[in-house]
Amino acid sequence: MSYETTWANLNRKLRQSADDNNGLASALFDLENHQRESGFIKDDLKDIRRIVFHHPTNDSYSLRAQVNPKRAERHNGSGNLALSSKHPNVNDGCFLCRENIKWQQEERQIGFEIGFGVSHYIAFMNPFPLLPNHVVIASPTHRTQELMLFRDNEQNQELTPMLNDLCELAIRLPNYIGFYNGVGAGASIPGHFHFQFFQRPPDLPQFPLEERNFLDVSCDSTATLVENYPIQVFKWTGELSRVVATATDWIRNFVETSEFERHQLTANFIATTSKTSKAVTLYFVPRHRLKQFWNGDAGIVGGVEILGEIVLASNEECDLVAKNIMNFDFIERALSRVSSPFF
């Protein structure tokens, strides 16, 4: 059976699964099972450890570490790059371009085509996941992760449709968290536009950021700012269209009045929905694009780290736990290294 036929047959089954069961989430679980059986997913998450560290004097504040040594293997790539001379090398071998995936993964990787409104994406499982059902939801065409908000270029992404799609996917995936990592803010494939989503881990479903207090920072009370957190994070909660509209206006004004030049800025966006309603929560994390790492030129800070869970993958990083160096203060200092006094 050809790769194209296998892709089409699996997509037909996944669409049926979404229709018959729990919507998009059911389809993504079935996709994960298929990709695990095909050998594409490299990690079953059984070796991951999460360690919660509480503030030394305030037990209600916590940060946590994820010890995930298999994650370090992602730097070797999950595909067979040795085949590149025998196959079309589209967009410098981009790992999210369907034309490359076929030969890079020796036809093991299949994506699920998602469409809503005028938006279209392909969901791919992450071969080195951080959390359950960790999926990359990518543009079907090769277009940059860069936002026009920060750098004027007709190829860059518009803010409003990006936020709308992120929040729409969050509504379609209750009990998940989704995020966009900007260029210089954790994006590991900056040349190809994508989001990442994962299911909340059953043992620790709430992340440290979500447990913090947020204070009003605007006269109309639309935006709130996290209190006593190592990184500045702004939040909006409500109905999708209102959240996107108010956040877009507020963020554009924020960028225009920032003391930093636009081209120096980047951002993370995180979205999730309530289990009991369709209210969406959107987080905006302004970043300086030269401050991407917590550990010199390693230890990238993206959406998961912003949520308060620092990922330890290399031997050096994992040793921080083994040698009892890792604690609440260590993580707080690490995250503060990527923070800038924007507000």
Three-class SS state of 83: helix
Q: What is the CATH number of the domain that holds 46?
A: 3.30.428.70
pLDDT of residue 79: 54
263 pLDDT exceeds 90? Answer: no
Task: Report the distance separating Cα 27 and Cα 13, nearest Å.
Answer: 8
Query: Which of 35, 31, 139, 158 lies closest to 94 in space, CA to CA?
Result: 139
Examine residue 342 and state whether it is found in any structural domain, yes or no: no
pLDDT of residue 152: 82
Cβ within 8 Å of residue 201, ≥6 positions away = 50, 131, 132
Examine residue 281 and state whether it is found in any structural domain, yes or no: yes
137 pLDDT exceeds 60? Answer: yes
Examine residue 343 and state whether it is found in any structural domain, yes or no: no
305 pLDDT exceeds 70? Answer: yes
Tokens encoding 235: 């939040």
Tokens encoding 306: 């912003």
pLDDT in tens, 212-237: 999 998 666 689 999 999 999 999 99
Examine residue 128 and state whether it is found in any structural domain, yes or no: yes
pLDDT in tens, 270-292: 999 987 778 999 999 999 999 99
DSSP class of residue 74 equals: G
Domains: count for the chain = 1
Top mean pLDDT of 22-36, 62-76, 90-104 is at 22-36
Domain that holds residue 263: 3-336
Examine residue 341 and state whether it is found in any structural domain, yes or no: no
pLDDT of residue 83: 52
Task: Tell me the average pLDDT of the chain.
Answer: 91
